[in-house]
Structures are given as C-alpha cells and as structure tokens.
C-alpha cells in the first residue's frame, strides 16, 4: 500500500453538501479510516483527508430554495458530515471545504499554470447538459435522449467556454494504466477504464461555466466572467488539502490511495489523471472504486424511504458492529446488499458468539481460577500452535490491506478466533480446574487464551477501534492501544501476575425485540406505502389517535412551475395564512401549472421535509386518482381561509 514506507496519504471523495450523510458516504469514509488507522498503528506518518464539495449548480439551487446564500447553506449542511464522522470514530487529520480560501487559491494557481502552458482554450460549444449531474454529454453519449448516467432529461446548451486539452493525454493515460496495474483497482474497474479509453478518442474537457448562468464557483484567474467547473475544482482538493491543512514537514503529494465509489471512476481515472499529467505532477498510487450498497434488494433512494442512516445504526447496534459488518459482509470493490437480517445475524454469530463468548469465557475463568490476574504459574507460556497461528496474522493483514482487501484481513483474524474457541473446548479448563495435578496446564490454557485476545485486540484495532481499546484495558494495559503501536502491542506479552481490568461484555447479543424495533424504522416508509394500499382495499384500519397525528390544512396556491428534469413533478408555493411554503407534488401529468394558481388545496402540513429531484418539499398535496391514473386535487368550498385545519 504505501509507496514511501514512511508515510501514507489516503483520501475519500469530498461529499456534496446537499445530501445528508448515508451508508454510502459512511462506507467510503470508514474504509479510509481503517487504512489510516492501520498505517498510523504500523508507525507511518499518515494524512487522511475528507471534506465537502460546495460549489456548483446543485448547491446554488438548493440554497435558493432555502432562501440562503450558497455559503450559508453549505455552512449549515457541513455540520452533518462533521458530526457523522465524529460519531463513527473517523480519524481524519483534516476536513477540506472547497470554499476554503486555501483551496480556492490553489485551484486558481493550477488553472493559471495550465493557461500559461497553452493547455486551456476558449471555444464555442453546443452540447447536451444534465443539470443534476452538472455534466455535458455529446449526442452519441445519450441513452434514449436522456443522461447516460442518471437517466434524466438533458438540455441543449450553446455557449462559449474554456476547455482543458485533455485529448492530448489519451495515449499517455492508457500507457500509465497499463504499466501500473495497481493504478486503477479493482481489476474489473481497470479493464472498464482501459476499454473505454481504447474504444474512442478522448475529448477535451469543458472546465468553465459562464458566471451569468452559474455564479457559485471559483472565478477563472484569466477570465473573471467564468467560474471553474465543479469537478475540476473538487478534484484539486486532493492536491490542495495537504498544502494548507497538513503538517508542512512532509511532502504529502502524491496520495497513496484515493478511495471512491464506482460512479465517479471516470472523473478520477480520466479527468484527474490527465489534469495531473498536464500539470506535470506525480499521479496517485491507486484509485480504488468500491461497489454500491442496495438496501434489502432495492436501490437506496429517498423516494423509497430506505436510506440507511449510519448514525441510527451506530446508535442502536454500536459503531464498531456497524464498521465491522460493512467490511466483513462483501469484498471491497463488489456491490452488496444491506439487509438488516444479515446484519443482526452476523453481529450475533461473529461478534456476540465467536469473539464475545471467547472474551467472556476467558475473563470469567481468569477471575474464577486466578483471582482476575494473568496466571503466574511458571508453566504459563503461550501454547506453541496457538502462537504460530497468531503470530502469522499481522503480515497477512499487511498484505491484504495493501490491496484494500478488508474482508480477507478479517477472515485471517477470524481463524484465530475460531482456533481459540476450539482450543478452549478441547482443553476443557473447567475439568483441569478440578485437580491440583492439572493446575499447571490450566494456567497455560488460560494464559494462552489471554494472549490470543491480546493479538486479536491488536489486529482488530483498525476495524473496531473503541471496542479493541476497551479490550486492551481489560487485559490490564495502561497505555492506549492506538498509542502503543502494532509492533509493541504484538511484542509485549502479558506479564504473569498482572491484574486484569474490570470485565464488561464487548458485543451484547441483539435480542429479537430490538431487531423488530430497528426493522420497523428502516421499513417505516415502505410500511406507510403498504398501509395506504391496504386502506384503499378496505383493510388496514387505524385508530383515531393515528389519524390525529396527521395535520391537514387548507392552502392557497400562489405559484406553480415544473421541476426541471421531471415531467411529473410541480413545484408549488402555497399560502397557509400564517406562513408560505414550498411543496413538490406529482401532479404534472394531470394539471398545468397555470390551472393550479389560485386554487384552495388540501395539504398534509406536518410531514417531515423531503427532497424530490433535489427540490425540498414541506408537506404533501392531497389528490384523488381515477381509473386512468389522472389526479384530481382536493379543494374546499369557498369562504374557507388558507391555513384552516381539517378535522
């Protein structure tokens, strides 16, 4: 993994501030954290960078909808990420925001440098533009006339813009990827990039947006009428971050690993690589694109209401159980399905049973037979076979983590867990305790189990830092495990006679009741939808107390317009007497915007805000459906004031 054995620089993508952090963001960030912790633990200097992507059209639009400036909007949203990373025990060394002055200055420097080298040109350009993705596409890129990436409508746009002469680096890029097999990983993604590059000429990259159309960005240093394309700006974070956010004693660039999701492979493997080539800067060691999580077989989406909130998971099941599951369940690089059943089964079998019971049994016996101290008998030495297995693991972890094979590293570690559990069964310490003649053997068995736990704490630390710190303390060490470092943690055998710390179970079993509670949380939205369906069919009765929770109010439609990119959604501004609100309603096929203006409609006023196609909706408009699916909005008799409550 590290190219320079002394230092290690790892990054996550910088996340769009519009979103609330979900399992996808957490996945990449925890992966980077495991690598960062592992490398720090192994004695390397580490810089781990994450942050937020704050410029561009999406942010500008979201801010407008909240009547905030884009920076105010970003300032509020960035807190969600910072808090989430704290909660998930993420050890990032710095947090970059693309609105930082330090970052903006570097973007402008790099743009000037490319401009001076003659690698940026102004051209007139006509193309198909996908607003949500903020990307231009050529006619042949489109799939059925829609954006090939997200499937949404595209707009024809013609304007003057600046282009980075990316096409010049086509051959050099192919060459670099071919010569450096670890540059794009995993192998399938490497083949995908090579296949794409070899099948067509590489175009030039439009790296500006006219300020008139999009003011929210970094102005080009050589033409202030334009701002920098958000991807050019965002990618530079990897290079700019260490320059103003890292200790200056180390030359951090190039990064060792950029961890990204598979959806942003092209921007990294092609745009970023060629930008660096043009700037004559070294390329990163590895760009690793991981797979995507589906949720119980379905794509995760806000409209399905199945977005997994990492904070809720960590809160209920524990941060470390969540961290463990994500990397144990599927090989990094593959797609995977997050199912709550699989999650709970794994926690119960592997953490509560395998590792948890091993720990509980060992400590209980140490307390019972040796008064809670490390056995002091002279025969107490670790069992040779167990030592062989345990001492082989650290090297294997290094090999696997070099290749970001988290699951394989955990497989290795679990061999020791399984072996030690069997060792207890076959040696039956409870039987050895019955006779003074076997007391020496009893001491050896318990000592060996405690030693196995010492290895396990050290090896599992990067994956489950706080539980392993707790285990380390229970083994009687004063210095924190993270501070001790891997080499010492492995070398420092337990001294006979050492008093063990107080024992507390690390991974409690998840009981069925809790499981039900969580399940109902994840499926809440699905259940709501099903209930609506049932009610239409005459079943699914609810009590008056449930109905009383729903606040229905009248509202007057002040303005209406289609939501860009959707032929169904309309954005409405409604008056509730005491407040005005924005609501997004899926009635665009049944009503033109003009027909709705002035209408007295009925809304659910106490729904949590939701975003539809990126537009926030604060409530739901009620409408009846006919057999053809045409909708008819509910209205009230005249004379009812906007905001009246409906009971």
Q: Which stretch binds ligand MSP (CB under 6 A): 260-268, 452-460, 478-486, 622-630?
A: 260-268
Write the binding mask 53 to 72 for ligand MSP: x where contact by CB under 6 A, - elsewhere. x-------------------
Give the Cα separation of 602 and 552 in Å (integer): 7
Smallest distance from ligand MSP to CB 6, Å: 26
CB 485 within 8 A of CB 43: yes
Nearer to ligand MSP, 13 or 310 (CB): 13
Residue 224: how many CB atoms within 10 A of its CB? 9
- State the pairing for strand pair 184-185/155-164: unpaired
Which residue blocks in 228-272 are alpha helix, DSSP H? 230-235, 237-245, 265-266
Please, which of residues 149-208 interact with ligand MSP by CB under 6 A?
none
Query: 27 vs 95, which CB is nearer to ligand MSP?
Result: 27
From residue 359 to residue 398, the character string flagging contacts with ligand MSP as x (rule: CB under 6 A) and all else as - is ----------------------------------------
Judged by CB under 6 A, the stretch of 71-79, 257-265, 360-368, 559-567 that binds ligand MSP is: 257-265
Q: Is the peptide bond before 254 cis (omega within 30 degrees of 0)?
A: yes
Q: How far is the CB of 90 from ligand MSP (least distance, A)?
A: 14
Q: Is 598 exposed, middle or buried (0-12, 13-18, 19+ CB in 10 A)?
A: exposed
For residue 274, the surrounding DSSP H or E stretch is: helix 273-278
Name the DSSP letter for residue 216. S
- Min dist CB 164 to ligand MSP, Å, is 16
Is 293 near ligand MSP (CB under 6 A)?
yes
Q: Write down the least CB distance from residue 284 to ligand MSP, Å.
A: 12
Q: What share of the chain is helix, strand, coil (3-state, %, to 5)?
A: 45, 20, 35
Give least dist CB 15 to ligand MSP, A: 4
The piece of 154-162, 259-267, 368-376, 509-517 that touches ligand MSP (CB under 6 A) is 259-267
Burial of 399 (0-12, 13-18, 19+ CB in 10 A): middle
Q: Is 305 in the site for ligand MSP (CB under 6 A)?
A: no
By CB under 6 A, residue 343 contacts ligand MSP: no
Stretch that binds ligand MSP, among 234-242, 372-380, 487-495, 507-515 (CB under 6 A): 234-242
**x-or-dash string of contact with ligand MSP, 560-589, rule CB under 6 A:** ------------------------------
Residues in contact with ligand MSP, shown as a per-residue x/- string from 10 to 49 under the rule CB under 6 A? ---xxxx--x----xx-xx---------------------
Place of tokens 């609100």: 581
Residue 452: CB minimum distance to ligand MSP, A: 34
**Closest listed residue to residue 387, CA positions, set 458, 451, 450:** 451
Closest distance between ligand MSP and the C-beta of residue 507, in Å? 25
CA distance 604 to 620: 5
Residues 6+ apart with CB under 8 A from 48: 9, 10, 11, 32, 33, 35, 36, 91, 92, 93, 94
In whole angstroms, how close is the CB of 439 to ligand MSP at the nearest point?
Answer: 54
Residue of 227, 225, 218 whose CA lies nearest to 107: 218
- For ligand MSP (CB under 6 A), the number of binding residues is 20
Q: Which residue, among 115, 82, 109, 116, has the nearest Cα to 97 in the 3D structure?
A: 82
Q: Which stretch binds ligand MSP (CB under 6 A): 192-200, 231-239, 247-255, 409-417?
A: 231-239
From the list 74, 119, 260, 275, which residue makes contact with ligand MSP (rule: CB under 6 A)? 260
Among residues 192, 263, 469, 526, the one that binds ligand MSP under rule CB under 6 A = 263
* Shortest Å, Cβ 237 to ligand MSP: 6
CB of 340 to ligand MSP, least distance (A): 15
Choose, by CB under 6 A, the member of 74, 147, 255, 300 that binds ligand MSP.
300
268-287: which residues touch ligand MSP (CB under 6 A)? none
Range in contact with ligand MSP (rule: CB under 6 A) among 258-266, 434-442, 488-496, 630-638? 258-266
3-class secondary-structure state, position 353: helix
Q: Would you say 28 or 448 has its CB closer to ligand MSP?
A: 28
* Binding window for ligand MSP (CB under 6 A); candidates: 70-78, 229-237, 345-353, 463-471: 229-237
Give the residue with the Cβ less far from ligand MSP, 16 or 164. Answer: 16
Structural Rg of the chain based on CA atoms: 29
Residue facing ligand MSP at closest CB distance: 261
By CB under 6 A, tell whether 264 contacts ligand MSP.
yes
User: Looking at beta carbons only, is 214 or 587 nearer to ligand MSP?
Assistant: 214
Residue by residue, DSSP assigns 168-182 as GGHHHHHHHHHH-TT
- Give the DSSP H/E element, type plus range, for residue 195: helix 187-199
Residue 311: partners with Cβ closer than 8 Å, 6 or more residues away: 84, 87
The answer to whether the beta carbons of residues 457 and 481 sit under 8 Å apart is yes
Burial class, 145, CB count within 10 angstroms (exposed 0-12 / middle 13-18 / buried 19+):
exposed
C-alpha distances (whole Å) from 308 to each of 25, 51, 430 are 11, 20, 45
Coil vs helix vs strand at 167: helix
Angle, alpha carbons 411-415-420 (nearest 5°): 150
Minimum distance of ligand MSP from residue 23's CB (angstroms): 6
Q: Which is nearer to ligand MSP, 81 or 183 (CB)?
A: 81
Alpha-carbon gap, residue 274 to 279, rounded angstroms: 8
Shortest Å, Cβ 52 to ligand MSP? 8
Give, as one character, the DSSP assignment of residue 421.
H
Q: Which stretch binds ligand MSP (CB under 6 A): 85-93, 163-171, 261-269, 566-574?
A: 261-269
Which CB atom, from 30 or from 552, has the smaller least distance to ligand MSP?
30
Q: Does 292 bind ligand MSP (CB under 6 A)?
A: yes
Residues 6+ positions from 473 with CB-CB distance below 8 Å: 501
Given 148, 221, 261, 593, the residue binding ligand MSP (CB under 6 A): 261
CB of 336 to ligand MSP, least distance (A): 8
Residues making contact with ligand MSP (CB under 6 A): 13-16, 19, 24-25, 27-28, 53, 234-235, 237, 260-261, 263-264, 292-293, 300
């Amino acid at each position: 993994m590290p190219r320079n054995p002394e230092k290690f620089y790892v990054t996550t993508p910088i996340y769009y501030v519009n979103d609330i952090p979900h399992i996808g963001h957490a996945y990449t960030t925890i992966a980077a954290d495991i690598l960062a912790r592992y490398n720090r633990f192994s004695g390397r200097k580490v810089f781990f960078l994450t942050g937020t992507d704050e410029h561009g059209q999406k942010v500008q639009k979201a801010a407008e909808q909240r009547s905030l400036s884009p920076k105010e909007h970003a300032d509020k949203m960035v807190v969600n990420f910072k808090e989430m990373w704290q909660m998930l025990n993420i050890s990032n060394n710095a947090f970059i925001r693309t609105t930082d002055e330090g970052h903006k200055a570097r973007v402008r420097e790099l743009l000037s440098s490319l401009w001076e080298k003659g690698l940026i040109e102004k051209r007139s350009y006509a193309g198909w533009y996908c607003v949500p993705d903020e990307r231009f596409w050529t006619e042949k890129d489109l799939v059925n006339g829609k954006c090939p990436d997200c499937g949404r409508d595209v707009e024809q746009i013609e304007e003057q813009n600046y282009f980075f002469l990316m096409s010049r680096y086509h051959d050099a890029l192919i060459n670099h990827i071919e010569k450096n097999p670890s540059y794009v990983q995993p192998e399938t993604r490497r083949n995908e990039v090579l296949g794409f590059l070899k099948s067509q000429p590489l175009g030039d990259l439009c790296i500006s947006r006219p300020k008139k159309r999009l003011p929210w960005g970094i102005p080009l240093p050589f033409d202030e009428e334009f701002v920098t394309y958000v991807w050019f700006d965002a990618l530079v974070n990897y290079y700019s971050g260490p320059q103003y956010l890292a200790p200056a004693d180390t030359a951090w660039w190039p990064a060792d690993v950029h961890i990204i999701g598979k959806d942003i492979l092209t921007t990294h493997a092609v745009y970023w690589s060629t930008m660096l080539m043009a700037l004559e800067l070294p390329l990163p060691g590895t760009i690793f694109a991981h797979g995507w999580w589906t949720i119980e077989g379905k794509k995760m989406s806000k409209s399905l209401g199945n977005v997994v909130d990492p904070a809720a998971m960590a809160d209920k099941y524990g941060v470390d159980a969540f961290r463990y599951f994500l990397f144990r369940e599927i090989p990094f690089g593959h797609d995977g399905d997050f199912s709550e059943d699989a999650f709970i089964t794994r926690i119960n079998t592997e953490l509560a049973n395998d590792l948890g019971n091993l720990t509980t049994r060992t400590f209980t016996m140490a307390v019972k037979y040796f008064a809670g101290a490390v056995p002091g008998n002279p025969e107490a030495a670790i069992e040779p076979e167990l030592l062989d297995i345990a001492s082989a693991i650290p090297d294997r972890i290094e090999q696997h983590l070099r290749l970001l094979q988290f699951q394989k590293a955990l497989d290795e570690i679990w061999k020791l867990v399984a072996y030690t559990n069997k060792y207890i069964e076959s040696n039956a310490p409870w039987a050895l305790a019955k006779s003074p003649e076997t007391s020496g053997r009893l001491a050896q068995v318990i000592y060996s189990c405690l030693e196995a736990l010492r290895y396990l704490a050290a090896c599992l630390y990067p994956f489950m830092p706080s539980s392993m710190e707790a285990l380390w303390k229970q083994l009687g060490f004063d210095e924190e495990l993270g501070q001790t470092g891997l080499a010492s943690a492995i070398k420092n055998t337990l001294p006979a006679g050492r008093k063990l710390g107080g024992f507390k179970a690390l991974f409690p079993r998840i009981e069925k009741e809790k499981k039900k509670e969580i399940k109902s949380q994840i499926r809440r939205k699905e259940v709501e939808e099903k209930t609506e369906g049932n009610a239409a069919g005459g079943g699914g009765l609810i009590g008056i107390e449930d109905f009383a929770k729903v606040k229905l109010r009248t509202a007057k439609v002040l303005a209406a317009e289609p939501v860009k990119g959707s032929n169904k959604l309309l954005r409405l501004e409604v008056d509730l007497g005491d407040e005005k609100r924005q609501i997004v309603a899926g009635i665009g096929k049944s009503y033109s915007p003009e027909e709705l203006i002035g209408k007295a409609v009925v809304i659910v006023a106490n729904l949590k805000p939701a975003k539809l196609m990126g537009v926030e909706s604060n409530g739901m408009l009620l409408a009846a459906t006919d057999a053809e699916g045409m909708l008819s909005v509910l209205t009230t008799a005249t004379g009812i004031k906007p905001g009246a409550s409906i009971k």
